[in-house]
Amino acid sequence: MSALERVMIIGPGRAGLSLGYALVQADAVRSLVVCGRHPEAPGHPLFVQGLAEYVFGIRIPAPGTSAVLLAVPDHVVSELAHALAGLGAAPVGCSAYHVSGALSVDVLEPLHAAGYAIGGLHPLQAFSNPVTGAERLPGSFLGIAGSPEAMATARTIASALGCPTVEVPEARRPLYHAAAVMASNFLPPLFDVASRLLERAGVPYDRGLPALAALVRGTLANIEDVGVDLAVTGPIPRGDIETVDLHLRALDPSERRLYGVLGEHLARLAPGGVSPAALAELLARYEGESE
């Protein structure tokens, strides 16, 4: 049985389509409408297989709609909230959410004035593809916020998707989102730097990337098994300053700065190894080098 009667998603991007496809696959919604700014629907299974209705532009949600998700870039949310509110009063019992990690629920105030319960529903997951993104949602956490009515519907959505939830006070949402960015968005550039170091060491880039991915999967498993503090490994926790020096000598200045910033935090996580002071002293030897 469907957990929700009707859902409308505004914004057929990676997050919106992933959420919509996951809801359909979980048999969690009886009717799904997706609104977009292009006349033609994207070539996504939701529309190719007739699983959802595509609407060009936006329209007022039909009676019986349980939730409207504004899955659009942060800078568009306020404008879209005003536009949707301008179409008329909310269906009875309908909640409206943005899927932003950083924005306050207050940005949806025009929708509250139009009768919607308002909230935030942010998936703590990286959506690089709007099809496979749906497969990664179960087990992912949802950051939820809002009025009691909106929170109740958000929990229904989370339960239907198999997603645990976390609640973050409105004033601290930027910290919550910064944490997500640091844990997820910073990994690709870090992988790129590490893969290029392997390439300079003689390992082709297309071989280095999967090799590092396997290494990181092991690290993530260790973090889940024993926690961050006990999962630290390598020369810094071991106190092997000679190996750290070999690394620093081999790196160019920008890579050395990145190694230093991350290494200092690692040193603080692993007292008894290379100390932050010793690492800073070692880094200072190379500060005079030019780019």
pLDDT at 194: 96
pLDDT at 131: 95
Superfamily for domain range 4-169: NAD(P)-binding Rossmann-like Domain (3.40.50.720)
Tokens of 93: 């019992």
Burial of 75 (C-beta count, 10 Å sphere; 0-12/13-18/19+): exposed
pLDDT at 287: 82
Range(s) of the chain covered by CATH 3.40.50.720:
4-169
Instruction: Show the DSSP H helices in 123-227 as ranges.
Output: 132-136, 148-161, 173-180, 187-200, 205-226
pLDDT at 112: 98
pLDDT block averages, 10 residues each, the chain of length 291: 86 97 96 97 97 97 97 97 98 97 96 98 95 95 96 96 94 94 94 95 93 95 94 95 96 95 94 93 81 48
- Close Cβ partners of 75 (under 8 Å, ≥ 6 residues apart): none
